[in-house]
A and B are shown apart, each in its own frame.
Chain A
Amino acid sequence: MLKKSFLIALTILGLVIVSCSSHEKNPEGETFGSGVTLASAVAVSDVFTQVDELNGKVIRVKGTIEDLCKHKGCWMQVKEGDQILTVRFKDEAFTLPASAIGRSVDFEGLLIAEKISNPLGTHAACAEAGNHEGGGACESERAEESIKKASDMRYTMISTGLVLI
């Protein structure tokens, strides 16, 4: 009797797993999170050129994964040229395998473009860059570069789902 119950439970569990399988059967690729629902996707480069128009909107983007959080897989970076788009998975609801680096990805989420100022302040930034003796401006090109980088725009997408192609 016990053996029979165990076998029935095991069969049901197996059927549930097989029937709920999402990314194995998707012909478009492996789905993570809620997948993608919007009809058309924009290229990563278009995100940067049309940022005023797209900022604060839910958009679908296509690109190639340059890097991702190897410990948890809870963020990824999609690169095109010098521009990097950081994609975070909303509330860390899903993760990506480390093997996803280099693969094409089609993802959907909210775009946040914000100008970031150096939270440490000019003097601290110069000091961090290693060539500031206090009181005045940065004393090396490297230090100035660090401030320039710190005041760049930061582009982040909060993704609710994606498809690995």
Chain B
Amino acid sequence: MISAVLLIVIALTGILLVHQDDLKTIQTSRVPLSVLPGHYDTRLEQTRSRQGTSELFAGEDSVPMRWVILDLHTGEFFGKYGPWFYDILAIMMAVLGTTGIVMYFKIRKNSII
């Protein structure tokens, strides 16, 4: 069930990322930090520190929607181990796909015989 939900999330975020230049909402919308995992606070702080805008936008506690979509797609949304979990999921999907193809040809061959 978890795998299926994540696959849907990966597929949908993939489509959104490919079309991010066409979808203005992705470039202009922001997601409040209160609904996001704690590591987004650190990341926002680091980004603003790099840009020299920490003091300028101190009261703006939200991140661009693009960050969230990209992270949901790569697994970084779930923290440090998120991408590893996605890797395992990807390997599982590749194995399932391969065994599916093998089974298809085996069943086809048996039905011909």
Q: A interface vs B, CB < 8 Å? A: 13, 17, 20-24, 30-34, 88, 90-94, 97, 110, 112, 156, 158, 161
**Number of residues from B at the complex interface, CB < 8 A:** 23
Give the number of A-B contacts (CB < 8 Å).
Answer: 64
Instruction: Please give, as numbers and ranges, the residues of chain A lying within 8 Å of B53 by CB-CB distance.
Output: 88, 90, 158
Query: What is the CA–CA distance of A112 and B21 in the complex, to the nearest angstrom?
Result: 27
Per DSSP, chain A at the interface is mixed
B42 at interface by CB-CB < 8 Å: no
A22/B47 in contact, CB under 8 A: no
A-B contact pairs, 10 of them (CB 8 A): A13-B15, A22-B23, A34-B28, A90-B53, A90-B57, A91-B47, A93-B64, A94-B66, A97-B21, A161-B28
Instruction: Please give, as numbers and ranges, the residues of chain A lying within 8 Å of B99 by CB-CB distance.
Output: none
Query: What is the CA–CA distance of A158 and B56 in the complex, to the nearest angstrom?
Result: 10
A23/B64 in contact, CB under 8 A: no
Q: Known contacts being A91-B64, A92-B47, A94-B27, is A32 close to B56, with CB within 8 Å?
A: no
Type the 1/0 row for B29-63, where 1 means its CB is closer than 8 Å to any CB of A: 01000000000000010011001110011000001
Query: What is the CA–CA distance of A13 and B67 in the complex, to the nearest angstrom?
Result: 21
Query: What is the CA–CA distance of A161 and B24 in the complex, to the nearest angstrom?
Result: 11
State how many angstroms separate the Cβ of A93 from the closest Cβ of chain B.
Answer: 4
